[in-house]
Structure 1
């Protein structure tokens, strides 16, 4: 694999499309400083994926785009393309089958950067993956730029290791290991999230199972409720069926009555029909007479209009005839005038034709004279152009020699100034003693290191404190969540108990509520809220005080005034806000604290534990005494009463006790929650303070690190400064010698230019005399041409005017011919119109006499018809009056029918309501997911609707006591169990994947260690051999700085002949460069990259070392393609191809290529 060409466009100084062809393995790029040679290497680094603008000697990536010069505008984008020959198959993978591979990068000023492989758009990563393991890359050892040689030697062991890894081809292994570690981290994160989900699902599943049991009990009660509701609907349907039969009987009775009234309506309708026939006949007679009357009126109007139209038409024809005669006279006068003008125009045309022929002959004579003058002028111009071209050569030579003279004088002045500056620079660059400053900088560095260690220790202590505070916060938050959950459960219990207590009384009755509002008793407490019962006696107390428990407590009975406001039904009021308790231990009142108004109801009630004891004590009762048992039996002398539901332990009093206990628990838990909130807030505040301290310490640490870095940088700069001054003095001395040589050359060129200038000026003087004669001859020819052109313009003007006048006369004659023809046609029209109008005028003196007689006869006939029409209208009016009377009678009969119909419709409405209600009941039964027959099964005939309503309410109450039910709990439980199985399987899969990834990383590490060890040993052996070859002796080797082959650094130990230096940093710049060359070439011997680019690597070397360097490059070129930039003639001599980069136009680089072998053959021939 080798690099065939580099195509540049808009990149830095290469603004024009430039193609750098690399036909051989030894290509040298030469040219003066600043002409853009290094831009070629920057282009290769950039297209291979370099993303650091600083590395490319810029501040941003758009700096690589040509930014314009004083003569050129900036361009909008930069493009670089590398063309590789892959016939050897060095590139593997999907591009192994391609013999040529194109890599291109395009960047625009908008900041977009695109990559292309063989013309297809790709990612930057695809480019870097393509060159992994080949030794190529944006920062590989195959591209050595200016200053990189010294940086390579002085680089840290960790940075030097990168070159060994690239040579070993394990960079792709590191990339695979990094991706595997990322996948492992993602797998661990997924595993943590999955564990949290499984734990949360386990907790939810336990809660859902409890809810599912409650949902099953709810489903059983709902089924029973649906059955009772269906039976209740059957009872309601039977009631509606009876109402349906009664409504049908009423409809039949009303139908008979309606038929009787409809017969009366039919009789009156027959009479009305007879009258309607007579009215129709009378209408026909009246309409006929009225038609005759209107017809006669129309004829009279028609004759009157005809008489008027005939009179107006005669007047119009007379007026048109008069206008026609006047128009005829006008056209005769105009026709005569046009004939006279036509004859005048014919005479004028005959007179102008001789003048036109004479002027045309004059114009042709002027054309001939002008042609002769122009030919003479062209011959004079040709002689002048030949002389100008011949005389321009010596004048150009004068300008050239003057330019050379000025350029030589400027160069001499510049070189003399440069010699002066070089002398001053050499004097100012002599090294001084810097030992005191180095000792001071070393002390500052040690002080900064101590400060960094102190701040790091303080930060570690604070981080330990942060962990403790966070652990305390997590514990308090867990307690907070538990207390909130318990309070939420207690709040739910309190809400349920309060709802049950509210629903058990009558306080929600509308009438009672309104009455209490009018009395301003809305805030009264109920008896069950005031009463206090010892534990175990709740059922006995509720049995005795059942009717009073739902009552309200007043301060006294006098609070109710007798103002006529009737008490609502179901209201119970108890007087006595203070509660009392009896001292008699056998009395129920001993175990109760009740309002004083209820004391009389329980004073004579004794209490026992069981029903048997109550029956035994019955014989001892006297008067109004009674005994009640704690299990819900109340016995009197001649009666027994039990509680409604002996299995119900949640009566009013028991629920009130539970409600009181729940309220107390809520208060206790709320107080505990407030305490935990306070502790949590304190912990959070303390954590924030510690974190703030950490931020402050980290800021101090950053400042200490900055100071340490500044001290290290300043000390290294000081050490480098002394070395640079020494190198600078040597370079300045070489530049002074070169400047002396250039100054001698420029002085020689100045003398030659002065001598040539004198000779050329003599030739220019001789040409000036001939110039004057030729200019006079050219001006005389131009004047003659101008005179002939003026005469021709005058002749052409006269000829044109005559031609225009002739065309105008011809146009006028043609217009008159058309006018005469039109006048003749118009006279013919007037004559025909005159004849037509005269034919329309009548010959009789009284043309309207016949029409007047016909009009009088029609008027007499209309009077007779008008009298007949009046008599017919009188008869029609009498018949219509009789018709209205009969219709009134019919309307009365129809009203009776409507009344019966309304009653019938009312009965039908009742029937419809019953039918609709039955349909609604059937729909409701179907909505309960049952049928009418199934609902009637087991329903006794004597069943009562009210009783079934009570049963439904009882079952509904039992459902209500179940509290809130999650009906989806059963399905949710099933889904949660399925999800738990799925998550468990996922957990096993992730654990397996984690083990696989760990095994993959171990395998990658094992292979990486082995390849790195083998490569290190091989490069070290090659380095040990090449170093003496480059230096002519000495020893050198590579050493590992650590024990772990995965991350150990690599250090260089080198000792030139006769030296025993302890570190590589003690070598001179040239020695460091030679050592780096030996190392790079030893890497190339192991894993030669397809090509190697060297940018002025030989700059710090003397001639002897440059010779060794050139020979070594020539040997390596058998395997590696070299592209090197150099200013050294010895290095240039070893190249097969020379490419010169010039900047003839300021700011724009251009390429000149020379094949050395071809040039040598041409020189030899």
Structure 2
């Protein structure tokens, strides 16, 4: 696998489409500074997925698009296509040649392609990762990259080995699994919370389900009793319906007799009307005949007038149109013209063929002359290419002199800068020490603020928890009060619910009309006795008689009456008071309740109760606990609570419920405030902790900075000594470059003096081209003439046929005109005959009209006699119909009674179907009352079952279904929770497997690189020692890599103490060790040997020659020794227009091993 070609369109300085065709081995890219050589390296990195604009030597990614230069305007996009030869199948794709394309548009949009198909950046990275090419781009060594490698952190150096070992895709897989784990943890927490919550809900719901099962058993008993009572009601209503049907049938028989008499009278009326109906058509027919004859007379007269006019108005019209014979002569002349035009077309076709033969001959002659001229031009171009090479070499040498002078000046300036930096570092070291001391002093107050904020947050959370407990207590109180009210309401409804009373008007319990003072409920209930359970409402004697008294539970009904003052005239002792003073009564019950309680007084003890009764036997005394005294009796003990007591308890519970709800609303506001306070306290605590941590980090950074500045100050002093030696070396190199430049300039002058060749003559080529141009003009004129003649012949060809068709049409039109004239003449003759016949018909129509008039008058007289007979028949029918209507009304009344019976039965049907959910047929089949059926026993059975059902209290009818659904959901969530936990364990297993794979790949690669580095280092530094060391050998997944280097003759191992050239060679040694341990298909080197002297350069070139055996090298260089070993040279140049151009030259590299240069003694 190797890079086959690189095509650049609009990328940086490559405004025009430029293609570099690479070959295996070493490909050297040369050219003056600023001509765009490094843009080739940037293009390679960019097309392989580089995302950092700084790594491409730009401020933003859009800077890679050609920005315009000279007369060329800026372009809208940049495009680079890299073609890779994959014959060996190194890339995991089924193509022997892979093309990767990247585009960037001015608006920031971009796209990728693989072999012309749309792709993602991830696709390209995964495609190249198997070849050891990743986001670190260790195969591309750009300008300044060598220093970055040595100055980077140990962890960053590890990335180069990981990339070469192909660990990147495993890292991505691990990161993906870790992201899934983070997302899965939220689902796991949610499932755990839901499962725990459902587990809490299952137990109370199970109790509700058990109560629902008991209620279902009792409800089945209630349903059976109701069904039997309903069967009795349906049977009774069906008997009533049968009696109504018998009464209706009797009236129907009488109505049937009257209906027969009515039908006979109606028949006589119909006979008379039939006779009238028969005479009416005759009279109408006679009258219609009279009208038709009158109309016929008018039509005959009108027809006679029209026929006379048509006979008089006929006249012949002559035909106007072209003569057919003249049209036939014109057609003959058109045929003659067409034949002449066809002859002209044939002549012009022969002339065109002759001219085309001449054109072909002249084209061959022009091409032959052009080839001869081109051969002469190529010969001259080859000679000029040699001159261009000398010019390029002279330009490069001049640039090297300029660069050497600039380097010398730079070294002198750097020497003074380093001296100033050394002084600056000393001052900076003192400043850093001062800042570190001040930062340490600020940590103590920040720690105190953090602890105070943490305590405040804990106090706010505690307050919030207390408020939540209070809210929970209030919610429980509200729930308890709501349950109490609901239970009391159900008890009150049970005590007042009487089925038979539903047949009367609306009745309500007396408790709705009595409002006792607080604490007086038992006393008033005891005083009222059974009246406390009374119903209030109006009823009539008839409604009371309609009740089934025997089966109805005994109830007292209070009816409204007039108010009276029932108080007794007696003096009460100071310890007694009238009970009526402790109760408020509604007007509906005031009269009755006052009468009942008029003799009752309230006392505060048993002794006072007996004294009051003994003092006045008419009085009754009652105590607040319900104990009551009368003359000779006392009622003690607790009885079942009355409706009055229940109503009072409901009222008090509702008031307590309202208070609890108000407390909850108030507490909700307090709770919201506590929530906000707790949140703010947590935020302040987090902020204080963050500030404290930031200050600690500042102290740590300053401490490291103090140490780093100290080392840098020492390094600057050592570097100052080395720069003095480099200045002398630069002066010697500048003298050598000037001698080489003078030698090349002399050679170029001699070659230019010998360049006396003249430009080849173009006269023969121009003459052939002129003759060919003239002959082609003649060809065009001949084509135009031929086309004109063809168009004329085509135009004339159809004219003769058209004229003949027109002559034929005119002959046919003249024939049609003659036929039309003959028809008009015939019509005129017929109209004359019709006029004569109309006179005869008119006489006959007048005679028929006289006879029709006589017939009409006779028919009208007969119709008058029959009409009188019809009137008499109608009077008879009217009398019978009145009698029938009277019977019909009676029948309707019977039908109404029958319908009401049917409606009651149907309503009973509907009510039973609606309330009991059973079909009537099934009800009568299974629940028809048998002989001896006791409806009262069934009602007692129903009452007892309802009482048992009410005793259960409130039952959730959906508890069974809810319990089952909740249990299924709990089991489902438990299963899901187990599945999520298993998936979590599986992901941990995947991460462990990936870590093991990464560990294996990195460990193997590290061992190979560790073994190669000393050998490569010894090649670049003969006699020196170098090695790679792990920072954390016990943790191979995260360990970094340190580089230790000791050049020959030196004892230092710290990289900061090495010279610039030594640092470059050390970084190259590390990269080459990676290249040897895990070879990649290609490497790109951008002026990596710029800082090397001749000796070190030849050592590096020897390594390049070794790498060439297994990999392709693309080297950006200014060094002639590097060019000498290259397989292909690519010359990059830039003219004044700012656009880069490339020329290439295949070379025969010197593959002999370069002699090892010996250092001067």
Same fold (TM over 0.5): yes
Alignment of 1:64-103 (within 5 A): 70=72, 74-75=76-77, 77-86=79-88, 95=92, 100=96, 102=98
Distance 1:957 1:969, change over 3 A: closer
1: CA distance between counterparts of 2:56 and 2:40?
11
- What is the aligned length? 1065
Contact 1:607 1:630 in 2 (8 A): no
Matched, 1:1041 2:1031: yes
Q: Report the secondary structure of 1:1106's partner residue.
A: helix
Distance 1:850 1:904, change over 3 A: same
Distance 1:732 1:136, change over 3 A: farther
What does residue 153 of structure 2 align with? 156
Quote the residue 1:111 is aligned against: 109
Is 1:1147 equivalent to 2:1105 in the alignment? no
Verify: 1:22 aligned to 2:38, yes or no.
no
Structure-2 separation of matches of 1:570 and 1:19:
120
- 1:742-797 per-residue CA deviation (whole Å, 9 max, x = no partner) reads 6886687679768968x969x99xx99x9xxx9xxx99xx9xx99xx9xxx9xxx9
Secondary structure of the corresponding residue to residue 967 of structure 1: coil
* Distance in 2, Cα, partners of 1:574 & 1:22: 129
**Partner of residue 472 from structure 2, selected from 471, 481, 485:** 485
Would the alpha carbon gap of residues 76 and 23 (structure 1) be closer, same or farther in structure 2, given more than 3 Å must change?
A: closer
Alignment correspondent of 1:544: 527
Inter-partner Cα distance in structure 2 for 1:5 and 1:1060: 46
- Counterpart of 1:203 (choices 196, 200, 205) is 200
Is the aligned partner of 1:476 residue 2:463? yes
> What residue ranges of structure 2 are gaps of 5+ in the alignment?
341-356, 497-510, 535-557, 586-593, 1153-1161
Does structure 2 retain, via aligned residues, the 8 Å contact 1:1023–1:1037?
Answer: yes
Note the C-alpha offset of 1:304: 2.1
CA contact (8 A) 1:167 1:1083 kept: yes
Contact 2:627–2:637 (CA under 8 A) maintained in structure 1: yes
Query: 908-917 vs 226-235, which deviates more?
Result: 226-235
2:423 maps to which of 423, 436, 442: 436
Q: How far does residue 863 in structure 1 lie from its aligned partner after superposition?
A: 4.2
Please, which moves more after superposition, 593-602 or 914-923? Answer: 593-602
Q: Provide closer, same or farther for how the CA distance between residues 671 and 852 of structure 1 changes in structure 2, counting only shifts above 3 A.
A: closer
Cα distance in 2 between the residues matched to 1:1031 and 1:64: 39
Aligned residue number for residue 915 of structure 1: 905
Q: Deviations over 1:1021-1060 (max 9, x none)?
A: 4323332322221222223334643433222221211122
Deviation by residue 1:781-831 (Cα, 9 ceiling, x = unmatched) = x9xx99xx9xxx9xxx9x9xxx9xx99x99999999999989997997899
Contact 1:53 1:59 (8 Å CA) reproduced? yes
* Residue-by-residue CA offset, 1:4-25 (whole Å, 9 max, x unaligned): 634546473386474734344x
- Structure 1 residue aligned with 2:238: 241
- Residue 80 of structure 1 aligns to a residue whose secondary structure is strand
Kindly state the Cα deviation for residue 919 of structure 1 after the two structures are TM-superposed.
1.9
TM-fit CA distance, 1:262:
0.9
Q: How far off its partner does 1:1064 sit? A: 0.9
Among 896, 900, 916, which residue is 1:906 paired with?
896
Which is further off, 264-273 or 123-132? 123-132
Map of 1:603 onto structure 2: 601
Deviation for aligned residue 1:525: 11
Q: Does the residue aligned with 2:85 lie in a helix, a strand or coil?
A: strand
Q: Is the 8 A contact 1:265 1:890 kept in 2?
A: yes
Aligned-residue offset at 1:272: 1.0
In structure 2, relative to structure 1, the CA distance for the partners of 1:186 and 1:42 (3 Å cut) is same
Q: Deviations over 1:547-566 (max 9, x none)?
A: 89899xxxxxxxxxxxxxxx
Match of 1:1131 among 1107, 1122, 1130: 1122
**Any idea what SS the aligned residue of 1:479 has?**
helix
1:1087 correspondence with 2:1088: no
Provide the rounded CA distance (Å) in 2 between the counterparts of 1:121 and 1:1017.
Answer: 40
Q: Which residue of 2 aligns with 1:531?
A: 518
Offset, 1:1130: 1.5
Can you list the C-alpha shifts for 1:383-433, whole angstroms capped at 9, x where unaligned?
999999999999999999999999999999999999899868855762313
Establish whether residue 146 from structure 1 lines up as the match of residue 137 from structure 2.
Answer: no
The answer for the alignment partner of 1:315 in structure 2 is 312
Q: Find 2:282's aligned residue among 280, 285, 291.
A: 285
Who is 1:250 aligned against? 247
> What is the DSSP-based 3-state SS (H/G/I as helix, E as strand, rest coil) of the residue aligned with 2:86?
strand
**Structure 1 residues 670-689: aligned runs within 5 Å:** 680-689=675-684
- Within 2, Cα distance between the matches of 1:427 and 1:812? 101
Distance 1:575 1:455 in 2: 93
Shift of 1:1113: 2.6
Shift of 1:246: 3.8
Partner of 1:369: none
Aligned match for 1:962, one of 950, 953, 962: 953
Of the three residues 838, 845, 851, the one matched with 1:861 is 851
Distance 1:153 1:574, change over 3 A: farther
Distance in 2 (alpha carbons) for counterparts of 1:251 and 1:701: 110
Q: How does 1:54-65 map onto structure 2 within 5 Å? A: 54-61=54-61
Which residue in 2 is equivalent to 1:3?
Answer: 2
Match of 2:885 in 1: 895
CA gap 1:20/1:593 in 2 versus in 1, 3 angstroms: farther
What is the CA–CA distance in structure 2 between the aligned matches of 1:222 and 1:1132, rounded to whole Å? Answer: 106
Shift of the alpha carbon at 1:906? Answer: 1.3
Question: Are residue 1032 (structure 1) and residue 1034 (structure 2) matched?
Answer: no
Deviation at 1:1069, TM superposition (A): 1.8
**SS at 1:1156 equivalent:** coil
Deviations 1:231-284 (A, max 9, x none): 553454355335423422331232123123212311211211221232133234
Structure 2: how far apart are the matches of 1:992 and 1:386? 84
| Aligned equivalents of 2:679, 2:307: Cα separation in 1 | 120
Q: Call closer, same or farther: CA 1:449–1:282 in 2, change over 3 Å.
A: same
Against the structure 1 CA distance between its residues 734 and 595, is the aligned structure 2 distance closer, same or farther, given a 3 Å change threshold? same
Distance 1:491 1:855 in 2: 111
Return the match for 1:259 from 256, 259, 276: 256
Checking the alignment, whether the CA contact within 8 Å between 1:1013 and 1:1045 is kept in structure 2 is: no
Q: How far off its partner does 1:1071 sit?
A: 1.1
Cα deviations across residues 881-915 of structure 1 (Å, max 9, x unaligned)?
A: 44654554465355335424422331332132133
Work out the CA distance in 1 between the residues paired with 2:1029 and 2:388.
61
Please list the CA deviations of residues 336-388 of structure 1 after superposition, one character each: whole Å capped at 9, or x if unmatched: xx99x99x99xxx9xxx9xxx9xxxxxxxxxxxxxxxxx99x99999999999
Contact 1:261 1:893 in 2 (8 A): yes
Q: Deviations over 1:110-146 (max 9, x none)?
A: 6354464x88876654554556575432325433233
Cα gap change, 1:942 to 1:746, in 2 (>3 Å): same
Which region of structure 1 is more displaced relative to structure 2, 38-47 or 737-746?
737-746
| Deviation string, structure 1 residues 652-704 (Cα, Å, up to 9, x no partner) | 45556666666676777777777666655544444444556667778989999
**2:970 aligned with 1:972:** no
Q: Flag the 1:919–1:705 CA change in 2: closer, same or farther, 3 A.
A: same
How far apart are the structure 2 equivalents of 1:1066 and 1:179?
Answer: 42
Equivalent position SS for 2:201: helix
Q: CA deviation at 1:1102?
A: 1.5
State the superposition RMSD in angstroms.
7.0
- Judged with a 3 Å threshold, the aligned counterparts in structure 2 of structure 1 residues 505 and 7 are, in CA distance, closer, same or farther, namely same
Deviations 1:456-480 (A, max 9, x none): 7877766665554444444433333
In 2, are the aligned partners of 1:218 and 1:962 still within 8 Å (CA)? no
Q: Superposed, which structure 2 residues align to 1:834-845 within 5 Å?
A: none
Q: Distance in 2 between matches of 1:731 and 1:892?
A: 148
- Structure 2 partner of 1:1023: 1013
Distance 2:395 2:1007 in 1: 58
Q: Structure 1 residue 300 and structure 2 residue 297: aligned?
A: yes
Question: Residues 828 and 76 (structure 1 numbering): CA distance in 2 closer, same or farther, change over 3 Å?
Answer: same
